[in-house]
Structure 1
Amino acid sequence: MKYAVHIASVRSALHHHLILELQSSTVFELTEDATRSDVVIIDVVDGQDTTDLAARIPRTALCVVLSTAQGAQDHDATRADEHTALETLQGPWLILRCAPFGQELLTSLRYLYNETIFTSWGPGGAAWLDLHDVVAVMEAAVGDTTRRNVAYDLTGPEVLNMEQVCHLIEQHINSSVFYVELDEDQHVQAMARTGLSETYARRRAQYMHLTTQDGYRAQPTETILRALGRQPRPLRDYLLDPLSEIVAQARDQWG
C-alpha cells in the first residue's frame, strides 16, 4: 500500500524535483485529487493561498508544511505563515523547517552567464539540503504516529559558502566560475526577463537573502541522522550529476 500525496503548493524551483522524488518513492504515490489524499504538502515559502484546503482534504490527512530553518535570529513572519497554513486544518501536521535546497541552487545555475553566477544567495551560503533527504524523512514519518504535530529543523551536513560552491563547480566543468550577489531590485529585474511576476521575484529574492544571511543562516543539525540513521547527503553527491547539462544549456541560452 502506498500513501497518496497531494502537492497543494511548492516553490517553482523545487516543483520538478519534488515530482521526480515522489514518483520514484516506494512509499508515496502522487494524486491531483486532494479529497483522496493521505498526505498534503504545503510550502509556505511559495506564498500561495491554500486556505481552501480544509474543505477538500480528509481530516485524517497528514499536513506536511515546508518552511525555513533559521539561526539564532528567528523570523516571525515565517512562523506566522506556518500558523496560517495549519489554522484551518483539522488533522495531524508535521512542520519541516528546511535549509535552502541544493536543488534551488541548481535552478540558479540555469542563469549562468559568462561563467558567472548572478544570484541573491548571500556570500555566506547555506547548509544546503537535499530534497531526497526531506522526502525520506516524510516517508519515515507518515506511518509513525509519534511523529505528529511536531516541527523538525532539517539541514545538509555542512555550510558551504558561495566561494566554495563556485570551487565545487569549477572542479567539475574545468572552468573558472565567479559569483556576483544581486540586491533585491536587481534580482527582480533579472527574473522579470524570464517572464516571472514581480511579486514572486521579490518574495524569492527576500527568501534567498534572508536564509543565507549571518544570524539567520541555519547551522547543521543532526535531525536527519536521528530520523534516518545516516548523515544527510553533501552537496557534491547530488549537485554534480546534472551540472554538466545545466551549464551547457545556460551557455547556449545566455552565452
Structure 2
Amino acid sequence: MEFALNKIDKHWDNNRSLNQHMNDLKRKVMELNGVKEDIDSRMKVELQPRKKLKREVQIWLENVERINGEVQNLNERIGESSTLTRGFHADDVLKRIREVEELIQFCRQQDYQVKGTKVCMEEIWKCLMDDEVGKIGVWGMGGVGKTSIMKLINNQLLQEREKFDIVIWITAPKEMSIAKLQKAIASQIKVTFCGDECETRRARMLFETLSWKSRFVVIFDDIWEAVSLEKLGIPEPSTGIKLVLKTKKRKLKKWGR
C-alpha cells in the first residue's frame, strides 16, 4: 500500500513539474516570437528589394518556425496523454526549453551587432551634419556591414532633402579609372557627355554643375585607391560639401587635389 502511494505521489509530482515546465516553455516561446516579429519589422525597413537574407538569419527564422511546430505538436500529445503517462514528456519539454533559450541567446548576440551598427551610423551622421568635417572614411574588413550602414545613411539623406541638395552614390568599378568614375557621377547629376570630351573637359563640366549646388554629398562605395578630386571634377570638400569613402583598405593616400 505504501509502495502504491509512493508511485501515485511520484506521478503527481511529475505532472505538477511538467505543468510548470510547460508554462515556462510557453513563456519563452512567446518571447522568441516577439523577437521574431521585431526582426521581421526590421527587415522590412532595412532590406532592399530582392536582397537575400544572411544565411545565418535565414536558418534562425527556419528554426523558429520549426520549434513553433514542435511545441504545438508536443502540447497536443501531452493533452492527449493520460495522467499516468503525461510525466514521460518531461524530457521533451526540457529539450525544447533549451532550444528556445539558444535561439533567444543568438538574437541577443546579434542585437549587440545591431547596437554597434547604430552607434556607427550615429557617428557618421554626426560628421555629415558637422560643417567642419569635409571628408569621412568608413573602413572595415569585408562582411562587417559597411555597405548596409552606408545604404541606410544614403536612404536617410534622401528622405531628409533639406539637409543636402543632392546625394551621389558611386560604386567604384572593378577596373577603376577617372573616365568611368566621371561617367558614373555624370549620370547622377544629369550631365551628358558627347563621347569625345577629354578627361579635363569632363572634369570641368562636372565641376561647373556641382558648383551650383551649395550642399551635396558624394559617397564612394568600395574604393581601393585615392583619386584626384580635381581630375574627377569634384569641388574640394568644404562647408556643405561632403566626401564619404567606404573602403576595405585601412590607409589610403590622401584624397584631394
TM-score (norm 1): 0.24
TM-score (norm 2): 0.24
Q: Which has the higher strand share?
A: 1
Q: Which of structures 1 and 2 has the larger relative contact order (alpha carbons within 8 angstroms, sep 6+)?
A: 1
Rg comparison, structure with higher value = 2
Q: Which has the higher helix share?
A: 2
